[in-house]
Chain A
Amino acid sequence: MASTTLDPAIPVRGTTVETTKRFSPDPSEAPEDDLREAVLQLEREGEWIVQRVPEPYYEAPTKYGLKKKIPYQRTWHHKSCGQCGHIPGYSTSIFWLNRVLGYDYFDPRDQTSCTAWNYYASATSNQAAQAAVAMRNFAAAYETGYFPLIHCGTSFGHYKEVRHELVHNHALRRQVRAMIERLGRPFVMPEEIVHYSEWMYAVRDQLQERVVLDLSPIVSTVHPACHYYKLQSGDAIYDPEIYGGQRTAVVTGVVQALGAQVADYSTWFDCCGFGFRHILVQRDFTRSFATLRKIEVMKNEANPDVVLTHDTGCVTSLDKSQFAAQAHGKNVGVPVMSESQFAALAMGAHPFRVAQLHWHSTDYRPLLAKMGIDAEQAWSEFQSDVKQIEAGTMDYLTWESVL
């Protein structure tokens, strides 16, 4: 095990707020309506079917003190195009964690992207199309009997925007219902819209029981994803024990349960610089923002071993942007991954077969060494798999070989 290398000149500011005052969230002070009662009322009026959260479920605290039901299992995994396409260890780790915990889940092919990346990037869509895409996916989930668990923060936030619009705009609701019915599908709204990082938060004690590495020397910084807690913010998870309930508790609550340190930094509220269209066609902005406002600040203020986040574009922007900054000798160079990958590693998952870190750019080997993982040995094992696939003696890497 590598020894602790904390720089004593940089005190680790944690997640305890510097006040003795306790702030208690009051649902009556919420600036937004709790839409869930309206969703159920519309069901009573015959407007749609409400898919219930399967029992048993976890009741998580939210921003204004209301509870949110988080399913443990029978989840329908609404995958993320950016995660599956470019950082596939992200989704693989979510599935791996479900399997290790023994939870029943469904990985559908009858699923499209939410298409919100395109909606926010190019605007070549519209309100009705976005709502129809969401409701088609919800219908597909309902037909399987599994409950939607949304992997992408943007899909999660956007689907909540869609829910808000469908509840408040009956003309839109009728229009979208007509489309879904013409497809021969049921018109269904889930009882809750749930992000995978909320599931991670709900099962954090079960994850903790299965940790096999000593993470106490590891210092992390957390980037909370904008579309998780800024869009339709009322039902994001906030825990009075974490940041005094003043920031979302997902990711941080999980990382602390795993035994690693979470250090604070001043630009936590800033976005990652992704920009939707910028990451693809105007990346000078993304690179500048991701490094100058996020990674360099984290390095200067907390010197983390790893940056952990819970959304697709954040991992990509914060990781890939560092190459050019390193070439300029900037104070960057810290690996970036999702908390699902970090949790899987902590629980003994293979860094390449499961966490698939070879899809990431910034050097992750010092982190693995500090976690007590032999990266060279693991890479050699993965290369052996690759050779077998190339030789035709193995078709695919299977779940059986990684559990």
Chain B
Amino acid sequence: MASTYADVSQDEKARLFRQVTQDARFDTYLYGCYECGICVAACPSARFYDFSPRKIAQALAREDVELVYEQMNDDVWNCSQCFSCLRCPRGNNPGGLITIMREVAVNNGLRTTKEALAGYTRIIYKIMTTGTQVSPDMLQEDAFPDWGPQVKEVADHLAVWRRALPPETMHTTALSWQVEERTMRELYAIWKWTGTLDMIAQLDEGLHDIMEEVMDDALEDSGIDAAGPL
């Protein structure tokens, strides 16, 4: 059968395969496969997508470079990351394998990765620059039209409803809770030391540049040596 990604060289596919298998987590996530299908029976995504955690484990165990490349493009973003597949009697962690495959896909800027994460960039910006992921002001009716009129109700009253919360730390609309500036600067340093900020450049160069500016400005007189990597 012809490869879905015939335009990508075998060497490139093998390079990405090695990145997956050389990850420090890999050896504790894959021990083989009994081909029992228990992971598929437990998997929510398998019920609604053409998706199988068993195929993921098998492809990696058999070192099927071609299929792993295809999965890295087409399958891994269907996973719900619920880790129901940890029921595996062999001790595998297919959800964890998918986490690694996704990271390799992002690090290498695979086109389908950009498609899968389209619309997700504002979330990445929020978590990486504020230290909290889901802020109250994200509750807008155009973002969640299927949640009904209650979302608009929240959005319309957001500022005053946030003040009508007894915990002082939650008197916020742009963050989930108040985060100290020092705390945010330390988070920025972690993103820079670990190459996490650099990962974003593969996904969205414009987003990377904006976030880098925010972080560099904050770190400039912070006393934290953010030069990396560490």
Contacts and interface: CB of A to CB of B under 8 A. Distances in A.
Chain A residues touching B, majority SS: helix
B127 A115 contact: yes
A271 B224 CA distance: 41
Given A113-B176, A118-B124, A123 B161 contact: no
Nearest to B95: A120
Contacts of A288: 48
Residue among A113, A360, A386, A390 having the largest count of chain B Cβ atoms under 10 Å = A113
A79 interface: yes
A122 B124 contact: yes
A123 B102 contact: yes
Interface string B11-51: 00000000000011100100000000000001011011100
B84 interface: yes
Interface in B166-185: 166-171, 176-180, 182-184
A147 B79 CA distance: 34
A95 B189 CA distance: 31
Interface in A326-366: 353-354, 356, 358-361
Contacts, number: 263
Given A79-B169, A122-B120, A226 B163 contact: no
A88 interface: yes
A91 B123 contact: no
B186 A86 contact: no
A269 B82 CA distance: 11
B136 A120 contact: no
Contacts of B153: 358
Contacts of A389: 160, 163-164
B132 interface: yes
B124 to A, nearest CB: 6
B168 A277 contact: no
A203 interface: no
Contacts of B184: 112
A84 B123 contact: no
B199 A124 contact: yes
B225 interface: yes
A125 B196 contact: yes
Given A123-B105, A183-B186, A109 B180 contact: yes
Which of B105, B123, B200 is packed against the most chain A CB atoms within 10 Å? B123
Interface of A: 31, 79-86, 88, 91-92, 95-96, 107-113, 115, 117-129, 132-133, 136, 140, 157, 165, 168-169, 171-172, 175, 178-179, 182-183, 185, 226-227, 230-231, 233, 269-271, 273-278, 280-281, 283, 285, 287-289, 293, 320, 323-324, 353-354, 356, 358-361, 382, 385-386, 389-390, 395-399, 401-402
Question: Which 3 pairs of residues, A with B, have the shortest CB-CB distance?
Answer: A123-B102, A323-B148, A112-B131
16 contacts: A81-B133, A121-B81, A122-B106, A126-B195, A126-B196, A182-B193, A182-B225, A185-B186, A226-B82, A230-B86, A275-B44, A281-B118, A285-B80, A320-B147, A324-B148, A361-B151
Interface of B: 23-25, 28, 42, 44-45, 47-49, 77, 80-84, 86, 91, 99, 102-103, 105-106, 116-120, 123-124, 127-128, 131-136, 138-139, 144, 146-148, 150-151, 153-154, 157, 160-171, 176-180, 182-184, 186-187, 189-191, 193-196, 199-200, 203, 224-225, 230
